[in-house]
Each structure stands twice: as structure tokens, then as C-alpha cells.
Structure 1
Amino acid sequence: MSDQKKTLFEKIIDRELPGTIVHEDEHCVAFRDVNPGAPIHILLVPRKPIPRLCDATPEDQPLLGHLMLTANRIAEAEGVGEAFRLVVNNGAEAGQSVFHLHLHIIGGRALSWPPG
């Protein structure tokens, strides 16, 4: 894939851009959000570049399950395993700004509802 077509997250995964990585395995990479909305705000990104959740296919089901379980382990490691929020923005109107599927792991303070 050429440099112009890589997403910001692919460049972080490939170490072409800096990121504070807190977890990585063969399926995903997690790093701290540069503009955190809470004391704990980590982005969990699959290595496979799926633009939006609605672009995932049945073949992606094991990967999506892996992301959920990994998010739980990261939240526990960060000390918020009993109280955290997972957010997936799907599309620009939902607040998605990087079109590479990612989960926001948010915690470390009381979170209100509704979120947006």
C-alpha cells in the first residue's frame, strides 16, 4: 500500500508516526489518544484496515470478538476494568474522523449518559 493511501492509524501501527502504544498483538494495536476525553482514553485498532464497522463482513467476526476481549484486558491493565466505556463511531455524522475501525476505551472518571 502506498504512503498516501495509509490511514493515520496504519502509519502509527507501522511506526511511521509516533504513538504511545500500550498493547499489541498479531491482530491489533492499542495506543493512547492524543486528545483524550478522559484520564484513560485508548484507541484499539485492528491491524486489518476496515474503514467503518458497517464495512465489516462475517469473515471479520473473530477479529471483532478479539477486539472486545482485548479492550476488556486493556481496561483492566489500566485500572478501570470495573468502569469503562467502549465507543465505536461509524461514519462522519457519528463523529468518526479516521476511517479505520477503532474502539475508544474511555474511563478514569464518572461518565454521563447520553454520551453525545
Structure 2
Amino acid sequence: MPIDATQPYDDGNIFARILRGEIPANRVYEDEHALAFHDIAPQAPVHVLVIPKGPYVSWDDFSARASDAEIAGFIRAIGHVAREHVGRGYRLLANTGGDAGQEVPHLHMHVFAGGPLGPMIAR
């Protein structure tokens, strides 16, 4: 169900539970600021999610409240995943809010790769 990106952080969301180790994930990268893991319902041959470790609902929330170190660390984690886990090209996607289709109220970046990805937006 799409969410309101301005809602308060829900520490019971699936990504918060993954961060706490309550739910397993196929992890591909982790550092002090971010965690990356394979999506359980991949939409491309390679589909990795990168999440900040802090409690942020959306880009708006993250950019307003995260420290400079958290922001830099998250961006570097996305870059690391792109370099280490994709081929010739990739797409980054962050859905923010219900109109964009955000389903988990924790900021996350999708990294898609592994072949032609088609148009940016379904017509």
C-alpha cells in the first residue's frame, strides 16, 4: 500500500526489522551508514536495495535531518553497489510518497541492472 512520505517513521517497517536482524536479507554491502541487499521480488535481473541505517521515511526527511556523514555514506554506498554488483549500465530509483508508489516507509534506493531496462515511466 503506498504511503505518505511525510508520516512519522514507523520502526516496525520491514527495512527497520531487517536492520535489527529480525528478518533475513541477502546482503551485498554494509557499513556504518548503509545496508544493501537483494530485493525479494526483483524487477530486473539485478535488483538491489540500498537503505540508510537511520530512521528516515523519504528523501525529504533524509536531506532535512541526516548528518553530512550519513548523507555522504549513503551516496557512497549506492556508488559501491553500482560499481561492484552491476554490469554495463544501471538505473537508480527512489519512490517518494504514495503518488510515486513508495510502499515501505523507510528511504531506499533501488539499483536495477543486468540488461535493457526499458522506458523510464510506463505509458
TM-score (norm 2): 0.81
CA pair 25-17 structure 1, distance change in 2 beyond 3 A: same
Name the counterpart of 2:47. 41
Q: Secondary structure at the match of 1:34?
A: coil
Ranked by relative contact order (alpha carbons within 8 Å, sequence separation 6 or more), the top structure is: 2
Name the counterpart of 1:72. 79
- Per-residue deviation, 1:61: 4.4
Q: Any conservation in 1 of the 2:92–2:109 contact (CA below 8 Å)?
A: yes
* Root-mean-square deviation over aligned CA pairs: 1.8
CA deviations on 1:75-105 (whole Å, 9 max, x unpaired) are 221142x411110100011010001000001
Paired residues, number: 112
Percent of aligned positions that are identical: 31
Equivalents in 2 of 1:99, 1:53: separation in Å? 11
CA deviations on 1:1-30 (whole Å, 9 max, x unpaired) are xxx842210111111011101111000111
CA deviations on 1:43-90 (whole Å, 9 max, x unpaired) are 10101010111222164444233222221211221142x411110100
Equivalents in 2 of 1:43, 1:15: separation in Å? 16
Equivalents in 2 of 1:20, 1:59: separation in Å? 26
- Per-residue deviation, 1:36: 0.4
Name the counterpart of 1:24. 30
Correspondence 1:111 to 2:117? yes
Equivalents in 1 of 2:86, 2:103: separation in Å? 28
Which 5+ residue runs of structure 2 have no aligned equivalent?
Answer: 1-9
Q: Any conservation in 1 of the 2:11–2:17 contact (CA below 8 Å)?
A: no
Which 5+ residue runs of structure 1 have no aligned equivalent?
Answer: none
CA pair 60-113 structure 1, distance change in 2 beyond 3 A: farther
1:74 is aligned with what amino acid?
Answer: V
Name the counterpart of 2:102. 96
